[in-house]
Amino acid sequence: MTTLDLEKSIVETAYARWAPIYDAVCGPVMLKGRRAAAEAARAVGGKVLEVGVGTGLSFDDYDATTEITGIDLSAPMLAKARAKMTTGRYPWVKDVQEMDAHAMSFADATFDCVVAQFVITLVENPEQVLSECHRVVKPGGRIILVNHLYSETGLAAAVERWAAVKTRSLGLRPEFPFARLQAWSQSNAESILVERRKVAPFGIYTLVTFERTAAALAA
């Protein structure tokens, strides 16, 4: 039994508090996962949407082979991302916008790749966000997620269930099962799971990649 999905208001309050200290605390801890996702996105190249871009910690992980657009619910997190953009170090970052991933304003099939790093487990309706990501990615394009996912069994799972209750108000959720992501993909005829792998060195994070099938183009 896992906890309920986080409400939007909890997430907004939590990330307004996280914004001033986010880079110092979450920068190093999540580095490997973030890099693995950006590397997979660079392999696709072209127009990349970062959902829940946060403070823009991933900007360093891209290059001129990509054009990055970021969205986030949190104005204080985005203010940090915008400050990074004004340094001029990230010409590949085109724009960041305050936007809810449940209802994006982008046209269908806008992006070659959609990346969500440490986001899908804490949105109010993960299936709706996945469907929005699917809608805005081009046929043949990819959705790349990286997260800590629920261990399902044993002591680790018990600790994660305990921690989920304690860390909820911090906008964190350590017991989100992979099965939910898989079920979403299986329910969508134009989505296939192309990769699920643990990220080295400790395997704390899981990288999950879905492809929007080219069949969607023919339809």
Ligand X SMILES: C[S@@+](CC[C@H](N)C(=O)[O-])C[C@H]1O[C@@H](n2cnc3c(N)ncnc32)[C@H](O)[C@@H]1O
Closer by beta carbon to ligand X, 71 or else 85: 71
In angstroms, give the least distance from the CB of 192 to ligand X: 24
Closer by beta carbon to ligand X, 58 or else 66: 58
In angstroms, give the least distance from the CB of 213 to ligand X: 25
In angstroms, give the least distance from the CB of 128 to ligand X: 9
Burial 85-116 (b: 16+ CB within 10 A, else e): beeeebeebeebeebbbeebebeebbbbbbbb
The vertex-38 CA angle with 84 and 90, nearest 5°, equals 25
At 203 the three-state DSSP class reads coil
Closer by beta carbon to ligand X, 81 or else 216: 81
d(CA 110, CA 163): 38
> Which residues contact ligand X (rule: CB under 6 A)?
11, 15, 26, 30, 34, 52-54, 57-58, 71-74, 77, 100-102, 117-119, 122-123
DSSP bridge partners of 68: 48, 93
In angstroms, give the least distance from the CB of 38 to ligand X: 9
Closer by beta carbon to ligand X, 102 or else 161: 102
In angstroms, give the least distance from the CB of 34 to ligand X: 5
Q: Please give the order of strands across the beta sheet that includes 93-98.
A: 93-98, 66-72, 46-51, 111-117, 137-147, 206-212, 191-198
Closer by beta carbon to ligand X, 168 or else 192: 168
